[in-house]
């Protein structure tokens, strides 16, 4: 089966906001840590100026991470789900395609972190013997629907394997 010809679905555009807020929190903490370290390490004016360049560079990278990266990640993020398999494709620099056969799924989890809850979004995490596949940036109702659909499909597979109708 050619994976490029699948009818992939895109996630809600609110995903860009989730990525932005998460990046802003991480970058903000990093900048604060750098400023505190610079304040502690101030030995002379020249050293202080050089040390203060580091938080400034991190701030520039953080702005790029908050403005540009979410758009790229959003455009590249897509998933496909049918009765046989789950496929998630994502990436910034390197594109990763994760494939989970439905019949190999052991556990389904819907997870919502604090930033996800701010935007009424969640993630479906599927565990197989071979690893974990995560569909991120789903609206709450869509995440619950996908989890229920996967659960129903797994139950039907188990019943068929047991010879139940």
Q: How confident is the model over 32-90, as pLDDT tens digits?
A: 877 777 677 665 566 666 767 777 787 788 888 888 999 999 999 999 999 999 999 99
pLDDT at position 44:
59
Q: Identify the domain boundary among 53, 72, 91.
A: 72
- Contact call for residues 137 and 11 (beta carbons, < 8 A): yes
Assign 164 a pLDDT band (cuts: 50, 70, 90): confident
Tens-digit pLDDT profile for residues 2-31? 777 899 999 999 999 999 999 889 888 877
Q: Per-residue pLDDT for 111 more than 90?
A: yes
Structural domain contains residue 3: no
Do 60 and 85 lie in one domain? The reply is: no
Residue 146 pLDDT exceeds 70: yes
Do 82 and 108 belong together in one domain?
A: yes
CB distance 74 to 13 below 8 Å: yes
pLDDT at residue 89, rounded to an integer: 96
Q: What is the pLDDT of residue 71?
A: 93
Cα separation, 81 vs 115, in Å, equals 25
The per-residue pLDDT for 120 is 96
| Boundary of a domain, candidates 56, 72, 88 | 72
Domain containing 36 equals 15-72
Asked if 25 and 62 touch (Cβ cutoff 8 Å), the reply is no
């Amino acid at each position: 089966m050619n994976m490029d010809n699948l009818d992939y679905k895109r996630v809600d555009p609110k995903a860009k906001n989730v990525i932005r807020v998460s990046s802003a929190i991480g970058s903000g903490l990093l900048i604060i840590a750098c400023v505190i370290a610079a304040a502690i390490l101030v030995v002379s004016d020249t050293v202080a100026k050089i040390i203060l360049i580091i938080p400034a560079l991190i701030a520039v990278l953080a702005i790029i991470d908050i403005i540009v990266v979410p758009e790229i990640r959003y455009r590249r993020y897509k998933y496909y789900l049918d009765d046989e398999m789950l496929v998630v494709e994502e990436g910034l620099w390197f594109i990763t395609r994760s494939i989970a056969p439905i019949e190999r799924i052991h556990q389904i989890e819907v997870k919502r972190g604090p930033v996800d809850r701010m935007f009424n979004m969640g993630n479906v995490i599927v565990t197989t013997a071979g690893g974990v596949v995560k569909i991120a940036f789903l609206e709450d109702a869509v995440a619950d629907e996908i989890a229920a659909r996967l659960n129903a499909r797994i139950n039907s597979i188990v019943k068929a394997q047991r010879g139940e109708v």
